[in-house]
Amino acid sequence: MKNRYLASIALVLILATSCSTAKKNVKSTPLAKSELTESAISEDEKNEFEYTFIEGLKQKMIGNQQAAITLFSKCLEINPNSTSAMFELAKIHSGNSDQTSASLLLEKAISIDPANKWFKLLLAQIYQQGKQYAKAAALYQQLYKIDPENIEYLYMNASLLSSAQKFDQAIDVYNELEKKVGMNDQISVEKEQIYQAAGKKKEAMAELQKLIDSNPKEPRYYGLMADFYLNEKDDVNALKYYNKILEIDPDNGFVLFSLTSYYRQKEDKAKAWEYVRKGFLNKSVEVDTKIQYYLMMTSDHDKPFFTDEQVGELVDILLKTNSDDFRVYTVYAEYLISKGKLAEAREQLRKVLETQKDNYALWERMILISNDMQDFKSIYTDSEKALALFPNQPELYALKAVACLQLEKYTEAIDILKEGDPYLLDNKVMKIQFDLYRAEAFYKLDRVEEAFKAYDDVLKLDPENWGAMNNYAYYLSLRNENLDKAEELGSQAVRANPANSTYLDTYAWVLFMRKDYKLAKFYMETAIKNGGDKNGVIVEHYGDILFMLGEKQEAMEQWKKALGIGEGSKLLNEKIKQERYLDK
């Protein structure tokens, strides 16, 4: 709960490491030239260095990093003490996340030219990214000595000392900073947090009290003190300071939600509801705050604090008080989804997309709702519209492919997947999905060799893709070919998912094709016990196995049951009519 009331002061330290800056450095203070003058190299080598360095800058500017690395490395072969070449190489390595190489180059450059602030700024940034906070802090301390008018260096020094858990040093630097800029929220709160981390509770409280004394009419400061007491589990004093905010500012939205949280912790449902309702009705509270609190409040589906009616009322309030903000309607859509009202939720998102058509997340959410509804015609048309706006999103190609498969547009499914292939890049998960859909489409088009190759590709990328194993085994069994492989695939899927009725059915059917009817019956009955009795295909398969075991009457019962369920094979009626198993 810390810092909820603090309007954070952003301290952005601009690191001048762009290509244009680098070129400016070379021209205004031509490091390469000065280095060359002091180096014992020939005039020809000087000329070669300048030409190579400029070519390196050109290659870097056009994005050809590997060529730039080669050229700058050649510069260092000509003049091993060129800090300019070291700096350029360090920037490239840093951009490629090779911070070890970058830091080694910069450390050497600084040893040659310790007054160059750009080297130290980049190295400090690298140290910070690598969580070497003490080293980064030391560099900012050096930078501040070079440029004592730049207080951003002091801020960074103090912040990094705090991250390095050098608390006393960090406090000293913040005190020095406070002398320069005067007391402000940011410094006081940073000091309070450092005292807290150091276990100095009295000093932390004194720092917050100093803020309150400086401006007794500022509600945020009382909020910080309330948070302090709440963290200390001192509910009495926390409540005292929250109420003090209400005295100063009765409509303060933040404290209304803070009091909601307070009373939720106390299991006081009436008080919590009173304050959360006031917070949502308060038009001065930003919609972001309301939405964030709503999402937090409804995140625990297993233990809801407010009733369904109360949550519904909050959504209604959001719609009435913030009807001009599209995000409110996305919240409403999620609320409808939680109530199982998928069609209504989708309609809300359609309305939002009329004005927010460039919002990819909304398109994807709407299409996924259609997927939950198994409305494949809508998936097909909506994904096509979305692809016109977002042609580089592989998820949309996958969703359209699913729709094509369900609508029996198999050739189009293959085409749309091929169209989306260039956008997969290193997305392994989507590559697997593409190959799965491709395999299904190829099989339906009787392009069996290509289908099985696609399944092999999936299993190379994901050796534990049980769904792929199951489908692959089933199709092999239907074709009565390579049954050894089918049995191995089916067995793996069942071992990993012993209660999956679909996988059990597939494995039983492979055994059926191998004429191992007794073992097939065992696995099929296990499938039936695990929900397969509601699936027409599984029940029909059970009847087929029973027939082969000579249990004809029982087989007839299962075939008739499968007919009533639906989804059986085209031969099911004939089996019942002729009272025998048919495979053609």
DSSP string, 524-546: HHHHHHTTGGG-HHHHHHHHHHH
| Residue with tokens 């933040």, as numbered in its chain | 254
Taking only the tens place, the pLDDT of each residue in 440-459 is 999 999 999 999 999 999 99
pLDDT: which is higher, 233 or 126: 126
pLDDT of residue 28: 33
Upper half-sphere CA count for residue 112 (Cβ side, 13 Å): 22
pLDDT of residue 1: 38
Q: Would you say residue 40 has pLDDT above 90?
A: no
Query: Nearest CA to 424 among 392, 399, 456?
Result: 392
Neighbours of 34 (CB within 10 A): 13
pLDDT of residue 183: 84
What SS3 class is residue 284? coil
What whole-number distance in Å separates Cα of residue 27 and Cα of residue 301? Answer: 63
CA distances from 572 to 477, 480, 533, 557, 577 (A): 19, 20, 16, 12, 9
Share of the chain above pLDDT 70, in %: 93
**Chain mean pLDDT for the chain:** 87
Q: Would you say residue 285 has pLDDT above 60?
A: yes
What whole-number distance in Å separates Cα of residue 391 and Cα of residue 389? Answer: 6
pLDDT of residue 16: 29
Q: Would you say residue 168 has pLDDT above 60?
A: yes
Q: Would you say residue 423 has pLDDT above 80?
A: yes
What whole-number distance in Å separates Cα of residue 106 and Cα of residue 121? Answer: 10
Taking only the tens place, the pLDDT of each residue in 347-380 is 999 988 988 899 999 999 999 999 999 999 999 9
Q: Do the beta carbons of residue 424 and residue 396 sit within 8 Å?
A: no
Q: Would you say residue 33 has pLDDT above 50?
A: no
Tokens of 450: 């290509």
What whole-number distance in Å separates Cα of residue 444 and Cα of residue 322? Answer: 50
What whole-number distance in Å separates Cα of residue 280 and Cα of residue 267? Answer: 20
Q: Do the beta carbons of residue 230 and residue 248 sit within 8 Å?
A: no
Taking only the tens place, the pLDDT of each residue in 458-478 is 999 999 999 999 999 999 999
Q: Do the beta carbons of residue 538 and residue 501 sit within 8 Å?
A: yes
Answer left, alpha or beta for residue 567, where phi above 0 means left and psi between -120 and 50 means alpha: left
DSSP string, 126-138: HHHHTT-HHHHHH
Q: Do the beta carbons of residue 223 and residue 255 sit within 8 Å?
A: yes
What whole-number distance in Å separates Cα of residue 317 and Cα of residue 291? Answer: 12
CA distances from 494 to 316, 468, 517, 523, 577 (A): 48, 13, 18, 10, 34
pLDDT of residue 29: 33
pLDDT: which is higher, 322 or 346: 346
pLDDT: which is higher, 249 or 251: 249
Tokens of 262: 């307070």
Confidence category of residue 13, pLDDT binned at 50, 70, 90 = very low
Q: What is the mean pLDDT of residues 206-210?
A: 89
pLDDT of residue 507: 96
Query: Nearest CA to 583 among 525, 512, 523?
Result: 512
Tokens of 29: 């203070």
Query: Nearest CA to 119 among 89, 94, 87, 146?
Result: 87
Q: Do the beta carbons of residue 413 and residue 405 sit within 8 Å?
A: yes
What whole-number distance in Å separates Cα of residue 65 and Cα of residue 283? Answer: 52
Q: What is the mean pLDDT of residues 543-571?
A: 93
Q: Do the beta carbons of residue 220 and residue 201 sit within 8 Å?
A: no
Confidence category of residue 31, pLDDT binned at 50, 70, 90 = very low
Query: Nearest CA to 226 among 202, 248, 209?
Result: 209
What angle separates helix 65-78 from helix 83-95, to the nearest 10 degrees?
A: 150
Query: Nearest CA to 429 among 461, 405, 403, 401?
Result: 461
Residue 501's identity, in one-letter code, is: S
pLDDT: which is higher, 36 or 370: 370
Taking only the tens place, the pLDDT of each residue in 103-161 is 999 999 999 999 999 999 999 999 999 999 999 999 999 999 989 989 899 999 999 99
C-alpha angle 87/91/92, rounded to 5°? 120
Taking only the tens place, the pLDDT of each residue in 511-523 is 999 999 999 999 9
pLDDT: which is higher, 391 or 326: 391
What whole-number distance in Å separates Cα of residue 236 and Cα of residue 393? Answer: 53
Sorted by where each starts, the structural domains of the chain and their CATH numbers stand as 374-444 (1.25.40.10), 464-578 (1.25.40.10)
Q: Would you say residue 304 has pLDDT above 50?
A: yes
pLDDT of residue 2: 38
Residues 6+ apart with CB under 8 A from 225: 205, 208, 209, 212, 241
What whole-number distance in Å separates Cα of residue 545 and Cα of residue 78? Answer: 81
Tokens of 38: 């002091």
What whole-number distance in Å separates Cα of residue 205 and Cα of residue 50? Answer: 60
For the chain, the C-alpha Rg in angstroms (whole number) is 34
Answer left, alpha or beta for residue 531, where phi above 0 means left and psi between -120 and 50 means alpha: left
Q: Would you say residue 394 has pLDDT above 90?
A: yes
What whole-number distance in Å separates Cα of residue 505 and Cα of residue 502? Answer: 5
Confidence category of residue 327, pLDDT binned at 50, 70, 90 = confident
pLDDT of residue 34: 39
Q: Do the beta carbons of residue 238 and residue 226 sit within 8 Å?
A: yes
Confidence category of residue 7, pLDDT binned at 50, 70, 90 = very low
Q: Do the beta carbons of residue 119 and residue 110 sit within 8 Å?
A: yes
pLDDT of residue 5: 30
Query: Burial of 519 by CB count in 10 Å (0-12 exposed, 13-18 middle, 19+ buried)?
Result: middle
